[in-house]
């Protein structure tokens, strides 16, 4: 009993910290009604170009009773983006394979959530998305933002979802995926 009381006294004096290690979970599907299947023969190879696999702190929220710390791996979140993009491209008729001459390098960085409204637990997330088609002049970089009433990981997933939608509807990107007849 003394150990139990001592534990809670120490806990009260030291405060608490909650550490959330986030991973990409279920990124929402992009419906074919929103962005239709593509015509023509297209192929692509998707490469994770994020070299940093370490777990870093995305955000720290200071509260009276302790901190809420959100951490994650940029490489893991980049891979989540690639996995979802791959499925969405395949759903639209694009061949995703390791032997495609069209190699898209993908890198997610400057990633992080922020609680905007503690009373309503509204989270804002953002990420810098860089995509580059190797061997061509196609290179795009943008900061994608989203606000969510859900938890951090959901806001982060929404950022990736919006980035995927942007790429799926990019006419310059799609024009580069055409398979050249030999």
Q: Give every CB contact of residue 136 below 8 A, 6+ residues apart in sequence.
A: 176
- How far is it, in rounded angstroms, from Cα 57 to Cα 61? 11
Global pTM exceeds 0.75: yes
Q: With pLDDT > 70 as the criterion, what percentage of the chain qualifies?
A: 70
Do the bridges between strand 66-73 and strand 16-22 make them parallel or antiparallel, or are there none, so unpaired? parallel
Would you tell me how many other CB atoms lie within 10 Å of the CB of residue 147?
A: 14
Instruction: Tell me the per-residue pLDDT of 111-159, one tens digit each, with 9 for 90 and over.
Output: 766 655 555 566 778 889 999 999 999 999 999 888 776 566 777 888 8
- Asked if residues 52 and 71 have their Cβ atoms less than 8 Å apart, the reply is no
Q: What is the DSSP letter of 42?
A: B
- Asked if residues 112 and 58 have their Cβ atoms less than 8 Å apart, the reply is yes
Half-sphere exposure of 16 (CA within 13 A, CB side): 8
Joined together, the tokens standing for residue 178 give 């055409």
Confidence band of 61 (pLDDT split at 50, 70, 90): low
Lowest-confidence region among 67-71, 93-97, 125-129, 169-173: 67-71
Confidence band of 96 (pLDDT split at 50, 70, 90): very high
Sheet (strand 95-96) strand order: 95-96, 43-48, 103-117, 122-133, 139-148
Q: What integer is the mean pLDDT of 14-28?
A: 70
Give the H or E element holding residue 58: strand 55-63
Do the bridges between strand 55-63 and strand 66-73 make them parallel or antiparallel, or are there none, so unpaired? antiparallel
| Structural domains of the chain, ranges and CATH numbers in brackets | 45-176 (3.30.160)
pLDDT at 157: 86
Joined together, the tokens standing for residue 58 give 């995305």
């Amino acid at each position: 009993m003394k150990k139990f009381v001592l534990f809670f006294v120490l806990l009260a004096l030291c405060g608490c910290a909650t550490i959330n290690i986030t991973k990409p979970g279920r990124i929402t599907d992009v419906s074919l009604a929103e962005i239709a299947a593509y015509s023509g023969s297209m192929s692509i190879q998707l490469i994770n170009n994020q070299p940093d696999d370490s777990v870093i702190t995305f955000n720290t929220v200071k509260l009276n009773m302790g901190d809420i710390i959100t951490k994650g791996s940029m490489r893991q979140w980049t891979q989540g983006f690639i996995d979802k993009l791959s499925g969405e491209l395949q759903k639209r008729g694009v061949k995703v394979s390791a032997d495609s001459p069209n190699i898209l390098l993908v890198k997610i960085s400057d990633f992080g959530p922020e609680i905007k409204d503690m009373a309503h637990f509204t989270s804002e997330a953002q990420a810098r998305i860089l995509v580059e088609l190797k061997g061509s002049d196609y290179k795009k970089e943008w900061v994608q933002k989203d606000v969510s009433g859900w938890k951090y990981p959901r806001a982060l997933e929404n950022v990736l979802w919006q980035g995927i939608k942007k790429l799926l509807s990019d006419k310059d990107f799609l024009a580069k995926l055409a398979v050249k007849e030999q």
